[in-house]
Amino acid sequence: MEHNDFVLLNQIKYPCDLRKMPLEQLPQVCEELRQDIVKELSVNPGHLASSLGVVELTVALHYVYDTPEDRIVWDVGHQAYGHKILTGRREQFCTNRKLHGIMPFPSPAESEYDTFTCGHASNSISAALGMAVANKLSGKDSDSNRHVVAVIGDGAMSGGLAFEGLNNASSTRNDMLIILNDNNMSIDRSVGGMKQYLLGLSTNETYNAMRFKLSQWLHSKGYLEEDRKNGLIRLGNALKSAISHQQNIFEGLNIRYFGPYNGHNVIELVRILRQLKNMKGPKMLHLHTIKGKGYEPAEKAATIWHAPGKFDVNTGERIVKDTSGKPQKFQDVFGHTLLELAKQNPDIVGVTPAMPTGCSMCIMMDEMPERTFDVGIAEGHAVTFAAGMAKEGLMPFCNIYSAFAQRAYDNIIHDMAIQNLPVVLCLDRAGLVGEDGATHHGAFDMVSLRAIPNLTVASPMDEHELRRMMYTAQLPDKGSFVIRYPRGNGVLVDWKCPLEEIEVGKGRKLHDGNDVAVLSVGPLGNDVADIIKEHEASDAAVKVSIAHYDMRFVKPLDEAILHEVGKKFKRIVTVEDGARNGGFGSAVLEWMSDNGYMPSIKRLGLPDQFIEHGTVPELREIAGIDKESIRKSVINT
């Protein structure tokens, strides 16, 4: 479908244009918006199924609420493509996730309609509550009648921060609306007690309508004064529980609950939102939606179509690159190696917070479901849960994306490292991840973790090193062990190798030299090795003699190598794919200073800024860690 075929969508540049349309035209607007998203993402890949599932909700919200004056706070921003298209970015949407294009997730830096950064899950309720309280304190909720809505979904309700926000919302004066987009999915299918609870939760719509009318009447008679309201709500909740024989956790927190309703009936959604819009106190609207709604392939396989890459709109066939004869993804090497180790060691168990497919723990999960645990979007719990199993003699491999592990920092320190428990924390997507941008780059793991006592922090240069590190980490008496590795493919077609122990804290010299020493950690070491080979084979008039050390470990550092380098070289270049300030290079600099060596040290890593979205090669060039930047630093300095 061409742009000219979108009769109604072409009339909408901003939500104010949408609000001029008659209610009966909204279903067609939804149909056109859904087709526009499918068409755009077929050629410019992104998060498809999540945004398709909230098309009707997105249209209804912007139709009922006076955005951007009213605040819509999205949770897990990959739901928000329709929101972007309706808020002045339709013409730019073809640049989504591209370098210098529109951002992959909502951001206030991009649009006034984006009220809060939302690349990670579970923050919407807390942020929206803060906005609602700020409005009350400033008088804006009465003077301008500003409304605040939090939209939470895609499994984000299982996150601890969501419960913290609910708990505070129940006891803090506010009028915000929380919309639970319940599609029984995160990226993979949702798991856990909250999923089961929501599946069974139902409230009679007639009851909701009667209660709303009754509350309006009580308010008009003066019976719903603030000091009486909570008591009446508790009484109503008790009566409903007695009638329905079902407890409602939200109403138990004095948050008025409505639903569940069909989230794909836009006319009905508008009616409900209009009823709830000016209702006082915190409210929960529970909607049932279908992830991938309206595009059959995405409805049938929502996990695959969460971010499917390019595809043919008409046939639903994904355009998948031929990977035969090419290196495996690091995550797949992890998954296959974990299963291999688990077959040898009956104490090994796997833990992941809602990413079994993304991190490839599904490989072990398919064969050993009783020894793998998807704990939902709950990274802190994942670490502490793993630590509890380790305390009782098991050997947990806990896999978390590097950027998401930031939410588990206290758990890593308090529950894992202080006791030096044998948990193997595997940080997938370490370093630059590409098109998902600043919220998802695994930039800070080396900086934050190298300061923690008892932790071993390792970063493999290739797939063989990953396998050896995983084998080493599960051996007795290795304590708390962290292995970080990047998103995407490795460098070895023949990635299998014998499982051999690596001495903890022991690096390796890959190339000898006399003029400059390059100390690398992680996969950028492959570029350093290529640079040395190319330089030696070049016809440069002046050749630089380059030594290369793959340090393997950020903590502990190989002090034997550092003494060797400190005594021999006046120039050192450190290379890492994490934040430069406080990272691996800083650790080398500190060690040299502490031990009386005074070489010139050039540190290459991510600069002191948040790196935008784009392809990994584009972003590495911006960050100064692409091959040419490394070459110049090594050869020309």
Handedness of CA 264, 270, 271, 276 (dihedral sign): positive
Within 223-348, where are the H helices? 226-244, 249-252, 266-277, 296-300, 330-344
State the Cα–Cα distance between residues 523 and 552, nearest whole angstrom: 10
Neighbours of 146 (CB within 10 A): 21
Instruction: Provide the β-strand partners of residue 400.
Output: 427
Which amino acid, 356? P
Q: Looking up tokens 């209009």, which residue turns up?
A: 274
pLDDT at 548: 98
pLDDT at 203: 44
Question: 218: buried, middle or exposed (CB in 10 Å: 19+, 13-18, 0-12)?
Answer: middle
Q: Which residues are catalytic?
A: 291, 379, 407
Instruction: Provide the β-strand partners of residue 426.
Output: 399, 483
Handedness of CA 559, 512, 499, 574 (dihedral sign): positive
State the Cα–Cα distance between residues 564 and 263, nearest whole angstrom: 65
Q: Looking up tokens 């009318």, which residue turns up?
A: 213
pLDDT at 202: 47
pLDDT at 251: 81
- Which residue numbers in the chain have pLDDT < 70? 1-4, 140-144, 185-247, 637
pTM here is 0.89
State the Cα–Cα distance between residues 293 and 264, nearest whole angstrom: 8
- Per DSSP, the three-state class of 310 is coil
State the Cα–Cα distance between residues 37 and 293, nearest whole angstrom: 12
Give φ, ψ of 516 to 5 degrees. Answer: -145, 140
In tens, the pLDDT along 130-182 reads 999 999 898 766 545 799 999 998 778 888 999 999 999 998 999 999 999 99
pLDDT at 523: 98
State the Cα–Cα distance between residues 399 and 415, nearest whole angstrom: 16
